A and B are shown apart, each in its own frame.
Chain A
Amino acid sequence: MYFETRELSKEFGGLTAVKEVDFAIEKGKINAIIGPNGAGKSTFFNLITGLHRPSSGEVFFKDQEISHLSSNKIAELGIARTFQTTNLFERATVFDNVIVGHRLRTKTNLLDAILRTKRCKQEEEQCKEKAWEVLQATGLTHVATKIVTNISQEEKKRVAIALALATDPEVLFLDEPTAGINPDETNGLAGLITELAQMGITICLIEHKMKMIMQMADKIMVLNYGEKIAEGAPEEINKNEEVIRAYLGGEASA
């Protein structure tokens, strides 16, 4: 198994946000997690990427148990993520924002920095090259020198993805990459995500836009009240009775 969760659960006080979820992420594919608001999707992400500790259950990545690792260690293994809110450094340029993304692959310490050793210069160069590379991959070179405050919401989402890419990930978790973005721009971002998958990066994303997800995902898991109610190819999900009930009975807007 490439990446899987086994009976993953998370309780906040008396509330069970995620309940015994078994999920496998397929290598090189686009995996999607959908579900009504409050279904536990983001919590599930936070459990996988080490931001929260699971109450019970395990997460495996390439046969290694990772649920006890901190998120920075998980990132080192090649697992990157984005957040729903972008949290960029608004006063700095796009390029400056992305440089730090490659920090985890460097070894420069404080002493190197103060003495400005050869290693320090080399690794800084390496980070800048990486930043440029990921800005090209995400189609952001034209805004590289712009201050983040002045770029569009869609561009900010792309910068967040670029930052995650700078960590050299094998698997990329995207938490609602197209939230708050107009339909045209959504298509652009969907295109980018498909391209990333073609480049060989395994994608796992949370989405609300059903049409988009049905077109691009290879595999979908549906969460409702923290429980997995369906898993499979888009066609299967489309026909699944329980999914229809959860969506129509719960929130018609989805």
Chain B
Amino acid sequence: MAVVNKKGLLFVLILLAIIFPLIVPNQYYIHILTLAFIWTIAVYGLNLLSGYTGYLSLAHAGFFAIGAYSLGLLTVKVELNYWLAFMLSPIITCIIGVMIGLIALRTKEHFFAIYTLCVGYIIYLIIDKWDSLTGGVRGLIGIPAPADIGFISLSTPLSQYYFVFIILLLVIFTVYRIVHSLTGRSFTAIRNSEPLAQSLGISPMRNKLTSFVLSTFYAGLAGALYASFIRFIGPEIAYTTITFDLLTYMIVGGIGTLSGPLIGTLLIVWLSQNLQFLQDYRMLIFGPLLTLIIIFAPGGISGTFLQWRARRKEKQRINMTTMKKQA
């Protein structure tokens, strides 16, 4: 029953996303939603590492930027075929991810968070200062939109919306598979207690590194999409504020849940758009909101809902058994 409902809900959501541009043929909204989808992909990566494995990485915007700059540089400066560049970008991000992960994962908890915060900032500085390669503060312009696949053109906002949406579905699908697999269970075991996981024969370093590199892969993928969608990138995409934006999306939606990144990102992006008139005073709303969530509902929207449902189910079962006993 529950499975049917879940599948039904998923179907409705996908359908809604498909027909959205047809109901709301507003270029601006389509643009915002496409961008939200791109952020969501990055948040899924962050969630895999921070939510499921328990290692809060604050270098995520850095990896996002590495993905974006890889695509930008490969297409603009190397003039590589678009799709080749598109595939190489997340891979380059992963390679840098392995190197950073090997060192960063020697630390734990807040030390890991602080270390990765520094790594993220260093990535930002490198992009900002390495003028000859990245164009420095001027950024990179003239990044091509996704090249046509056969007769399908990907240069219109609408086609890009669908393209990003399909990638997002693939991301959610792979994350779903990973999280529900034995690999995913190993990640969760590490999050609960590393000594316990290790005493059960789970190699912490191997699993943590896998999770870390996977998270950089998704960040790099999101970055590559961002670069070819916005077609202009500057060093600010690597800046810490982006990391904290992603973190906010994840925490509001629900850290360590499958639907959290999607819910959180869409909600906050939508709220930001509607509160645009407040300019930076928006943060006066987001700040307390985030604090309240962390204090009263650390599971975020999705986590709180799941917990509530689990509790209700258990209550029902207890009632059933007592009723049986009475009968």
Task: Mark A residues whose CB is within 8 Å of B.
Answer: 49, 51, 70-72, 75-76, 80-81, 83, 87-89, 91-92, 99-101, 103-104, 106, 108-110, 112-114, 116, 120, 123-124, 127, 145-147, 150, 163-164, 166-167
Picked from A76, A124, A146, the residue with its CB within 8 Å of the CB of B182 is A124
User: Contact residue range for chain B?
Assistant: 20 to 34
Chain B binding surface, main DSSP class:
helix
Are B199 and A75 in contact (CB-based, < 8 A)?
yes
Q: Is B97 an interface residue (CB 8 A)?
A: no
Are B198 and A110 in contact (CB-based, < 8 A)?
no
Q: List 9 A-B contacts (CB under 8 A).
A: A51-B199, A70-B198, A71-B195, A71-B199, A72-B200, A72-B203, A76-B201, A100-B188, A113-B183
Picked from B182, B204, B307, the residue with its CB within 8 Å of the CB of A108 is B182
Give the distance to chain B from A213, nearest Cβ to Cβ, in Å: 23
Name the B residues within 8 Å of A112 (CB-CB).
181
Name the residue of chain B whose CB is nearest to the CB of A80. Answer: B199
Are B178 and A71 in contact (CB-based, < 8 A)?
no
- Give the docked Cα–Cα distance between A83 and B193 (Å): 11
Give the distance to chain B from A120, nearest Cβ to Cβ, in Å: 6
Q: Is B108 an interface residue (CB 8 A)?
A: no
Name the A residues within 8 Å of B199 (CB-CB).
49, 51, 71-72, 75, 80-81, 83, 164
In chain B, positions 186-214 with a C-beta closer than 8 Å to chain A are: 186, 188-189, 192-193, 195-204, 210, 214
Are A104 and B202 in contact (CB-based, < 8 A)?
yes
Most chain A CB within a 10 A radius of its CB, from B178, B185, B214 = B185
- Give the docked Cα–Cα distance between A124 and B183 (Å): 10
Are A113 and B201 in contact (CB-based, < 8 A)?
no
Are B184 and A99 in contact (CB-based, < 8 A)?
no
Name the residue of chain A whose CB is nearest to the CB of B206. Answer: A72
Picked from A83, A92, A103, A116, the residue with its CB within 8 Å of the CB of B196 is A83
A89-B192, A113-B177, A147-B314 known; A104-B200 Cβ under 8 A: yes
Name the B residues within 8 Å of A145 (CB-CB).
317
Are B182 and A123 in contact (CB-based, < 8 A)?
yes
Q: Is B310 an interface residue (CB 8 A)?
A: yes
Task: Mark B residues whose CB is within 8 Å of A.
Answer: 174, 177-178, 181-186, 188-189, 192-193, 195-204, 210, 214, 307, 310-311, 314, 317
- Give the docked Cα–Cα distance between A54 and B284 (Å): 53
Most chain B CB within a 10 A radius of its CB, from A91, A108, A124 = A91
Give the distance to chain A from B217, nearest Cβ to Cβ, in Å: 11
Picked from B189, B201, B307, the residue with its CB within 8 Å of the CB of A75 is B201
Give the distance to chain A from B34, nearest Cβ to Cβ, in Å: 25
Name the A residues within 8 Å of B317 (CB-CB).
145
- Give the docked Cα–Cα distance between A114 and B178 (Å): 6
Are B178 and A87 in contact (CB-based, < 8 A)?
no
Name the B residues within 8 Å of A103 (CB-CB).
182, 185-186, 189, 200-202
- Give the docked Cα–Cα distance between A101 and B186 (Å): 9
Are A109 and B183 in contact (CB-based, < 8 A)?
yes
Give the distance to chain B from A115, nearest Cβ to Cβ, in Å: 8
- Give the docked Cα–Cα distance between A92 and B307 (Å): 10
- Give the docked Cα–Cα distance between A147 and B313 (Å): 10
Name the B residues within 8 Å of A76 (CB-CB).
201
Picked from B185, B202, B310, B314, the residue with its CB within 8 Å of the CB of A72 is B202
Are B177 and A114 in contact (CB-based, < 8 A)?
yes
Most chain A CB within a 10 A radius of its CB, from B195, B200, B310, B311 = B200
- Give the docked Cα–Cα distance between A210 and B267 (Å): 59
Q: A71-B199, A87-B192 are in contact. List 10 more A-B contacts (CB 8 A).
A: A51-B195, A72-B203, A83-B196, A91-B310, A100-B200, A104-B202, A120-B182, A127-B182, A145-B317, A147-B311
